[in-house]
Structure 1
């Protein structure tokens, strides 16, 4: 062993599985080492080490430093007079090729060395492969951190961190690194990323590389429409009328099936065989017509000897949601008589009518050119919808859901994901499908609709994407500030974890449990990470790494910064208009205005002789 080697840290003293106890050499007196003009921190938790094995090198991450890292069976005086490190082995390199996992283990007495910049180039590879540069090592600013784009998308990922830890900035920086605007390096001109923006933070940050759809569009934004008839019948009915008994559900689904058959008979639709039509086939039909025909059946009364003559007073209007009126039924045998075949769904039909009249649900129940008329005819079909979301000339699509009512948010997210996933699933053998042109779905505030043990429609479709999406080219990226509240099944499917600062013990415990590598000691750093600093482990990172994420340039950062309290409170107050506050509240729009129309009346002259005529 050459003690003059500047990269030497110590020797292997014990090996247990992938965990190695290292006894530091006595000559190591400083926490810094200068090698080939570069400064390296020595023995820091989260730093890398190299253990030579002849033609092969093993690489690991320092997870613990101090006397507690010593093997338990060592004598106390030996432990107290020595310095120790515990290293978790993560991969090996033969020549210039690095591979995760181990084919052999080190021996007692093998030397342990600092990982230099040359070693990291060997691990991460050059710029010509699938590596995406996202930042630099927290301990060495001159060493770039790169992730595998292939594994990041296909094996799913999660970005986790407490409020204020830099999640939104990390997401914006990561997406910008993937698409690389301006033509820098290779870039990804055909990238396809769908971002569900719950708080409206990303429109300004990614405006030059994204197309924005919003339920309440502003300048340079497009209206967001989600056609209700593209949903599965069960999911649609849950949105419209809530939970139904089996008999009541059959009443609705039979009528939906009937309306879809009528629409198909009116004009054939490409790809639809009438013999294989189901209630879940995405065929347009009118909700107004559905409501009208069902309420007509429920409220009909009859007269006549055979009780088969409808006692109709007024027809009503399906388009205006006006119900038909019948003579009220009479007690006894005189008639009119009730419809004994009625299903007893008046309450549910009243709720359906209420939903159709509620303007907050227009984006899904009255989807603009995708809203069918009473015959089921539409101006635009699903190809135009998917073309707008997935086929435009920019790499990112942002769906701004900040103005969507919280009561319908989970169902809306479920609807969007189901439409996209089903389309990519069934087109998997076509050039527009996910295999030949994959899709990355970024889900902000994932804990709001992926609760632990949840059985919501959103949770079901995300679980399906997490379990099956890799095979069909659909990748998921979860973003959450409360990983403890995210369903464990979904989180366990995330092959790459980007963990920012987490102070809550329950959140840290969930992250530790989901880690693909044995890095519990490294995760103990989570409470003390700086803003914008993350520990990255999993499929996309060739080695677990503590990374400082590159900040987006000024003007391209998400609208998630903390308010400047001191500066705001130190200013002199100006004139305030609380009518504007209430106007925004009532309009459910942050940009609503309250304008009072004031008409000023002034005297006018009809002629030179008339000096005082007034209007």
Structure 2
């Protein structure tokens, strides 16, 4: 009898007061792998103590195999039963005894995870080429797991936010890889695309990874603005006064906002080419016949073709009708459409200093980022597109010339240039993408050291070939199925990521995937606030504030995708 008591004491030890000593389960433990495949992802049966309500799509799961760790993203949550009949006659779960019997045995949870990376013993993340065995144990990712994948902040890597429910660590973008291919920032209206873009640009400027030419449609980037909650937020010029230059099409607007600008941009009619109008075909309702007429007028009247067309002298019109094949109705229709140019004060017939050369000097010689404010012209999509096409085409020509002359010598190459455009689908619509300079730049990748940062709320309207060339996609909430498909097209594991993307919060959450990150990641993006300014100016990495920052996923966090 005494022997039996001793055996019981070994199996069920007690403390000094005679109370049973309960072992504490691993709070990160989720369950075991019960099925799946490399292409479709894995199913993990949850252990009975794990509540499905504590889980959320977008979090990270690590499966500890025999030889490596598998880094996964939770993409779906499912309820299952061992006996289908229980669904027809559910037990009374208010009875604690029945609840303990059924939970985790007859009724249990299943989570679906997408395999993202494998990590060998040397802690080097690698593409996944195999899967773990049956009943391999799965855990919530820890701070160490995330750091092994995303590394630490340094001169190249920039903290863009924290993974969901793991706020003691951070997600670091590889800025060098970010700027060497085009970037897309997508999200429905009101999801904070401009603030997210400002965070990315701050990182690029602070780390000196590229100079930026920002076509600032609504004066969001250069100077101080007021956020939706009524707070003043700094512009890039105020954060980096020695590295950012503001120029403007509307000096009155800049003065009214007390924005310090370097010069006013003026574009002469004589420098506008028919090629500059091709990207405006849909917004200005220009037919192919009108574009052909513009090329003909340019060959006949040389650089004065727009001025003479707008003057509309009878003898000029008669000469064109007699000596060209332009129909009279076509020329009059083109004239009516170009008349709006006369209302834009930044266009002039007078000789002016070459604004494009001054911009090139700032970008290439002084290596400054340039913000072009549009002021009142930001409400005119035609003006925005004309100016962006005009300036970008000429800067691209200069970059091509400089790169070709450098003969591969990096010391003679111009600095990497990132061109930022809003309403990108208007420039990159499938009907015009092949005809605009922006379509050319997107397809060239990094050949001439010019890439794009496109900001848009309708990625489905961007040419599919151009979308395939966007290296890094930073996507906030999208609720249109076509837009979600466009963003995920060509991305490995897109089926699972679709559920994640459709369930992001409306503010300060995004999924980042592509060239600048080793795997897709859902982040709570950094706030663009005083703490951010201090960290950027100090050049130090930012840690998440809050005493309740959690060491691992799934420990009572309240943020949910």
TM normalised by structure 2 equals 0.70
Residues 1:199 and 2:218 are matched in the alignment: yes
CA deviations over 1:518-574 (Å, ceiling 9, x no partner): 3535544534514111122222222322211111125999xxxxxxxxxxxxxxxxx
Within the candidate set 397, 400, 424, 2:399 is matched to 424
Higher mean C-alpha deviation, range 398-407 or range 83-92:
398-407
- Which secondary structure does the structure 1 equivalent of 2:445 belong to? helix
CA distance in 1, matches of 2:433, 2:364: 25
User: Paired residue for 1:177?
Assistant: 203
Cα pair distance change 1:57/1:364, threshold 3 Å: farther
User: Paired residue for 2:264?
Assistant: 223
Within the candidate set 416, 428, 441, 1:450 is matched to 428
- 8 Å Cα contact 2:160-2:525 kept in structure 1: yes
Cα pair distance change 1:160/1:12, threshold 3 Å: same
Residues 1:11 and 2:45 are matched in the alignment: no
- 8 Å Cα contact 1:160-1:483 kept in structure 2: yes
- 8 Å Cα contact 1:226-1:416 kept in structure 2: no
Higher mean C-alpha deviation, range 543-552 or range 342-351:
342-351
CA distance in 1, matches of 2:199, 2:131: 38
1:178 Cα deviation after fit: 2.5
1:26 Cα deviation after fit: 2.7
User: Paired residue for 2:72?
Assistant: 60
Higher mean C-alpha deviation, range 75-84 or range 493-502:
75-84
CA distance in 2, matches of 1:160, 1:142: 27
- 8 Å Cα contact 2:60-2:140 kept in structure 1: yes
Cα pair distance change 1:466/1:250, threshold 3 Å: closer
User: Paired residue for 1:22?
Assistant: 44
CA distance in 2, matches of 1:246, 1:543: 45
CA deviations over 1:441-460 (Å, ceiling 9, x no partner): 22222234333x33267x63
User: Paired residue for 2:343?
Assistant: 360
1:425 Cα deviation after fit: 2.3
Cα pair distance change 1:285/1:15, threshold 3 Å: same
1:418 Cα deviation after fit: 1.7
Higher mean C-alpha deviation, range 224-233 or range 462-471:
224-233
User: Paired residue for 1:211?
Assistant: 245
1:141 Cα deviation after fit: 1.8
Cα pair distance change 1:519/1:123, threshold 3 Å: farther
CA distance in 2, matches of 1:528, 1:95: 34
Larger Rg: 1
CA distance in 2, matches of 1:437, 1:53: 45
CA distance in 2, matches of 1:492, 1:126: 29
- Which secondary structure does the structure 2 equivalent of 1:82 belong to? strand
Within the candidate set 143, 160, 164, 1:117 is matched to 143
CA deviations over 1:371-408 (Å, ceiling 9, x no partner): xxxxxxxxx48543411455445334344365153334
Map 1:55-454 onto structure 2 (within 5 A). Answer: 55-67=67-79, 76=84, 81-128=107-154, 130-180=156-206, 187-188=207-208, 191-204=210-223, 205-208=235-238, 209=240, 210-217=244-251, 218-219=254-255, 220-221=260-261, 222-226=263-267, 233-235=274-276, 243-244=288-289, 248=293, 251-255=296-300, 288=307, 299=318, 341=323, 348=331, 355=338, 358-366=341-349, 369-370=352-353, 380=354, 383-388=357-362, 390-392=364-366, 394-400=368-374, 402-403=376-377, 405-429=380-404, 430=406, 437-451=415-429, 453-454=430-431
CA distance in 1, matches of 2:321, 2:42: 80
CA deviations over 1:17-54 (Å, ceiling 9, x no partner): 241111122343597xxxxxxxxxx6431111122334
1:116 Cα deviation after fit: 0.7
Higher mean C-alpha deviation, range 74-83 or range 212-221:
74-83
1:117 Cα deviation after fit: 0.6
CA distance in 2, matches of 1:175, 1:547: 17
Higher mean C-alpha deviation, range 96-105 or range 211-220:
96-105
User: Paired residue for 2:227?
Assistant: none
CA distance in 1, matches of 2:501, 2:307: 57
Residues 1:44 and 2:56 are matched in the alignment: yes
CA distance in 2, matches of 1:233, 1:289: 14
Cα pair distance change 1:541/1:250, threshold 3 Å: closer
- Which secondary structure does the structure 1 equivalent of 2:494 belong to? coil
CA distance in 2, matches of 1:359, 1:245: 19
Higher mean C-alpha deviation, range 87-96 or range 4-13:
4-13
Greater RCO between the two (CA within 8 Å, min separation 6)? 2
Cα pair distance change 1:96/1:285, threshold 3 Å: farther
Residues 1:531 and 2:507 are matched in the alignment: yes
Higher mean C-alpha deviation, range 403-412 or range 467-476:
403-412
Cα pair distance change 1:449/1:79, threshold 3 Å: farther
1:11 Cα deviation after fit: 1.4
Map 1:493-508 onto structure 2 (within 5 A). Answer: 493-508=469-484
Cα pair distance change 1:30/1:225, threshold 3 Å: same
CA deviations over 1:549-606 (Å, ceiling 9, x no partner): 111125999xxxxxxxxxxxxxxxxxxxxxxxxxxxxxxxxxxxxxxxxxxxxxxxxx
1:97 Cα deviation after fit: 4.4
Cα pair distance change 1:506/1:401, threshold 3 Å: farther
TM normalised by structure 1 equals 0.64
Higher helix share: 2
User: Paired residue for 1:482?
Assistant: 458
Give the superposed CA RMSD. Answer: 4.1
CA distance in 1, matches of 2:412, 2:55: 44
CA distance in 1, matches of 2:446, 2:34: 42
- Which secondary structure does the structure 1 equivalent of 2:124 belong to? strand
Unaligned stretches of 5+ residues in structure 2: 1-22, 87-103, 224-234, 534-561
CA distance in 2, matches of 1:525, 1:456: 27
Cα pair distance change 1:339/1:463, threshold 3 Å: closer
1:103 Cα deviation after fit: 3.0
